[in-house]
Amino acid sequence: MYPLFERVHDRWTYEPLQELGQTPSGCRKWSQSWVWRSLVGALGVAAVFAITRAIYHKRRYSPLDQYQDLNQFPVTLDHAPDHSPVDRRAVVSSLYSDGFAIAVAVVGHSARSANVSARFLVPYLENKVSEKALCIVRAVGWEPYPVPWIPPPHDGNGIHLRFMDQYTKLNVWALDKMGIDSAVYLDADTLVRRNFDELFDSPFNFAAVPDVDVHGGGFILSFNAGVLAFRPSSAVLKDMLQKLEVAEYPPEEAEQAFLNRYFAGTCMRLPFIYNANLGYKGRSPRLWKRLIDEMRIVHYTAVKPFIQDIHVTDTVLPAEEIEDAMEKSVLKKGGLYREEVGWWKDAYRKMMLDRGDAINQCL
Ligand SMILES: *[C@@H]1O[C@H](CO)[C@@H](O)[C@H](O)[C@H]1NC(C)=O
């Protein structure tokens, strides 16, 4: 019994000879059951993997299931909020690298264009940010002020390099020392579409918008830290700095994970329109469409129209590079965010029209 080689249609094919008593159909049955068994096996492995992963996520990532008693501060103000005077409100962002100067300028200009009535304060790291970058953000009305670097917990062990400066964001809680009662924090990759003055009169000490699960799980209870409405308090900042070392969360997740732990059960969840995360559109285009007309703040998570490579961001980007980044962002994710990239593009153009002369003098 030897394999038989046969020339068929000008090609050599291999056909095993039949064993005695084994019919061609039996041979096929055996191979089918083999395929079937492998399939069942693979499904079994996948199921075990999925369950393990779910348990792992639940155990490791939920600030409520593994609740830690970190934050003793009250959830609401102890009196009905007065309309805070404009000079005691602040829109606040952060500037830790020259690469984000234009983005911070655009978000500031967009908030001013929406007539948000507040001071515009931007904390920056003195050793990381140049006079050129400060000049650009001043050109649209931001008041930059230097802040100390807040080191990541556990000496930065396990943290992504790009998150090394993220804890510095916590400094915004010290704005009470600058006479601010009520503040709205905006990440550099957000854009203001409409006025959000109502946030300044929130009776809650801390409010934020629920996030989208980047692992594909959909909507989740944890909040996204790109937009925060809060009452500054140096006492809270001091407490946070003490709790940084004891809060338990995956070290690679940075300040957003810490804030979720710290404000676990005390955060007021805001509607999606205050931090319209592009991830929502990926998850549900219908929901996105419903929200568009009321969106206050858009968050460019999935694509960043102002930057090509988030890791190479230590110089002020020249206009050509921004143009290039905008063009490329339109094409990303199969063109899903064409319209939203267009919003950013319009805001950038509008800023250059209004303040381009002042900005160009900085360069
Ligand atoms: C902002 O205020 C100016 C001046 O009062 C007004 O002309 C403009 O329409 C306002 N913009 C928005 C978006 O409300």
pLDDT over 80 at 313, yes or no: no
- Ligand 1 center to residue 338 CA distance, Å? 27
User: Nearest C-alpha to atom 5 of ligand 1 is from which residue?
Assistant: 115
Listed range (35-49, 145-159, 254-268, 307-321) with the worst mean pLDDT: 307-321
For residue 220 and ligand 1, the question of a CB distance below 6 A is answered with no
Tens digit of each residue's pLDDT (9 = 90 or more) over 269-295 = 999 999 999 999 988 899 999 999 999
- Return the closest-CA partner of residue 68 out of 242, 260, 270, 268: 260
Using 50, 70 and 90 to split pLDDT, how confident is the model at 159? confident
DSSP summary character for residue 63: T
Using 50, 70 and 90 to split pLDDT, how confident is the model at 33? confident
Listed range (108-122, 171-185, 240-254) with the worst mean pLDDT: 240-254
pLDDT score for 27: 45
Listed range (43-52, 92-101, 131-140) with the worst mean pLDDT: 43-52
Q: What is the mean pLDDT of the chain?
A: 87
Architecture of domain 85-360: Alpha-Beta Complex (3.90)
DSSP summary character for residue 203: S
In DSSP terms, 191 is beta-bridged to: 298
pLDDT over 70 at 35, yes or no: yes
User: Nearest C-alpha to atom 10 of ligand 1 is from which residue?
Assistant: 115
pLDDT over 90 at 9, yes or no: no
pLDDT over 90 at 199, yes or no: yes
| 147-152 contacts at long range (C-beta below 8 A, 24 or more positions apart) | 147/123, 147/171, 147/174, 149/125, 150/241, 152/251, 152/254
User: Nearest C-alpha to atom 1 of ligand 1 is from which residue?
Assistant: 115
Give percent of the chain above pLDDT 90. Answer: 62
Threshold 0.85, pTM exceeds: no
**115, 198, 296: which to mutate for ligand 1, most atoms within 8 A of CB?**
115
Break the chain into its structural domains and give their ranges: 25-54, 85-360
Tens digit of each residue's pLDDT (9 = 90 or more) over 102-157 = 999 999 999 999 999 999 999 999 999 999 999 999 999 999 999 999 999 988 88
Integer Rg of the chain from CA: 27
| HSE of 327, CA atoms in CB hemisphere, 13 A | 6
User: Nearest C-alpha to atom 2 of ligand 1 is from which residue?
Assistant: 115
- Grouping H, G, I as helix, E, B as strand and the rest as coil, residue 223 is strand
- Ligand 1 center to residue 196 CA distance, Å? 14
